């Protein structure tokens, strides 16, 4: 079984935020929720780097470990999904996540957090595939359509890659060899290293 992974090439990301916009628009994400965002360090200085981050769909995911109601689960292909009907909005997954991926829409009773929302790797949710309910609650299910996630599909510089881990790693390795420089992809040690 293929293992789905994200990879953001720090050398290529130009902070255009296209991935953020396409995700938000394509999945009709609630107001105040950003499933993906771009972080820039050393802005305006030599050595400025940008990186696009969403849920990394970790192996041995911390969010699954801390969820008190077992609302988060991992598919066989590594994609981590949340069941919004089980989630109680306690926020523990946000505290456990090394990438700040879990998001919470506000505007519920007493301003309480609603069910957690995060990147689904454009793989929908636990509802029936291609159903209206799935689309409304979780967004598109592009994986079931055989497409890569929106953010990676539209990335202009192809900094953001998504898909089968081996293929993504190979493409990145070729780039690194051609550039004659580089290091392991950002976040991979943290997200995918088996303990």
Partner 1 sequence: MKRLYSFLLPAAMVLFAVIAFAGDPQILLSPGPEPSTATFGSINKVFTGDWQQYGQLFTDWQGGLFSRVFLLILTIVPALFLLHFILIGAKKFSHEGSPVFFFGLFTRFIHWLAALSFSLLVITGLMVIFGKFIGGGPLVMTGRSIHLLSALVFAVTAVFMFFIWLKDMLPMPHDILWMFIMGGYLSKKKKPVPAGKFNAGQKMWFWLATVGGGVMAWSGYQLYAFDGMTDQLRLMAILHNFLGAALIAFFITHLYMSLFAIKGSLGSMITGYKPQEEVEILHSRYKM
Where do contacts with partner 1 occur on this chain (CB under 8 A)?
Answer: 10-11, 39, 41-42, 46-49, 51, 53, 62, 65-71, 85-92, 94-100, 104, 109-113, 181-183, 186-187, 190
Cβ-based nearer residue to partner 1, 4 or 51: 51
Cβ-based nearer residue to partner 1, 92 or 121: 92
Residues 6+ apart with CB under 8 A from 2: 77, 163, 164, 165, 166
Cβ-based nearer residue to partner 1, 16 or 90: 90
Q: How far is the CB of 24 from partner 1 (least distance, A)?
A: 18
Cβ-based nearer residue to partner 1, 85 or 128: 85
Q: How far is the CB of 185 from partner 1 (least distance, A)?
A: 9
Q: How far is the CB of 16 from partner 1 (least distance, A)?
A: 17
Q: How far is the CB of 150 from partner 1 (least distance, A)?
A: 21
Q: How far is the CB of 112 from partner 1 (least distance, A)?
A: 6
Q: How far is the CB of 130 from partner 1 (least distance, A)?
A: 24
Cβ-based nearer residue to partner 1, 76 or 189: 189
Q: Which residue has the tokens 């070729």?
A: 174
Q: What is the 3-state secondary structure (H, E, C) of the chain?
A: CCCEEEEECCCCCCCCCHHHHHHHHHCCCCCCCCCCEEEEECCCCCCCEEEEECCCCCCCCHHHHHCCCCCEEECCCCCEEECCCCCCCCCHHHHHCCCCCCECCCCCHHHCCCCCECCCCCECCCCCCCCHHHHHHHCCECCCCCCCCHHHHHCCCCCEEEEEHHHHHHHHHHHHHHHCCCCCCCCHHHHHCCC
Cβ-based nearer residue to partner 1, 46 or 146: 46
């Amino acid at each position: 079984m293929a293992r789905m992974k994200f990879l953001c090439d720090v050398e290529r990301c130009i902070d255009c935020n296209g991935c953020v916009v396409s995700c938000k628009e394509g999945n009709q994400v609630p107001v105040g929720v950003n499933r993906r965002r771009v972080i820039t360090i050393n802005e305006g200085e030599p050595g400025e780097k940008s990186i696009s981050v969403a849920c990394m769909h970790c192996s041995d995911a911390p969010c699954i470990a801390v969820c008190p109601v077992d609302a988060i689960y991992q598919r066989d292909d590594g994609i981590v999904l949340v069941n919004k009907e089980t989630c109680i909005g306690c926020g523990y997954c946000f505290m456990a996540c090394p990438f700040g991926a879990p998001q919470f829409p506000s505007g519920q009773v007493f301003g309480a957090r609603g069910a957690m929302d995060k990147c689904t790797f454009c793989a929908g949710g636990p509802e029936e595939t291609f159903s209206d309910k799935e689309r409304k609650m979780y967004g598109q299910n592009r994986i079931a359509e055989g497409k890569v996630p929106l953010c990676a599909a539209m990335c202009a510089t192809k900094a953001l890659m998504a898909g089968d881990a081996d293929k993504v790693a190979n493409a990145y390795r070729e780039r690194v060899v051609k550039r004659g420089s580089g290091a392991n992809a950002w976040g991979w040690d943290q997200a995918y290293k088996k303990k």
